[in-house]
Amino acid sequence: MNTIDARGKACPEPVLLTMKAIKAEPAGIAVLVDNPCAVENISRFAENHGYGIIIEQDGEQTKLTLNKK
């Protein structure tokens, strides 16, 4: 599974990177982010586009795994 590094990126870049990665790999991807706003925005994007999401907190960073439902 492809992992996108969106750490340090401000809104809406993490969502935009996620959208581009999903287009290239529709089955699912993982995204690394480091702010709560990005976690919320990507979660909403996943929900709106038919993806399940697993959120794993690891210190300062969060790993979001998106899988096609």
Partner 1 sequence: MKKNFWVIITGIVIGIAALVLVAFGNPGNMGFCIACFLRDIAGASKLHSAGVVQYLRPEIIGLVLGAFIVAIAKKEFKPRGGSSPTIRFILGMVVMVGSLMFLGCPLRMLIRIGGGDLNAVIGLVGFIVGIGVGIFALKKGFSLKRTYAQSKLEGAALPIALLVMFILVLIVPSLFAFSTEGPGAKHAPMIISIIAGLVVGGFAQRSRFCTVGGLRDVIMFRDMHLLWGAIAIVVTVLVGNAILGNLHFSFAGQPVAHTDGLWNFLGMALVGWGSVLLGGCPLRQLILAGEGNSDSVIIVFGLITGAAFCHNFSLASSAAGPTLNGQIAVICGFVIVAIVSLFNLAKEGN
Q: Indicate the angle between helix axes 13-24 and 36-48, nearest 10 degrees.
A: 40
Binding mask 23-52 for partner 1 (x = CB under 8 A): ------------xxx--x---xx--x----
37 is catalytic: no
Tell me the C-alpha distance between 4 and 29, whole Å: 8
Q: Left if phi > 0, otherwise alpha if psi is -120 to 50, otherwise beta: which for 8?
A: left
Q: Nearer Cβ to partner 1, position 58 or 60?
A: 60
Residue numbers at the binding site for partner 1 (CB under 8 A): 7-13, 15-16, 19, 35-37, 40, 44-45, 48, 60
* Catalytic residue list: 11
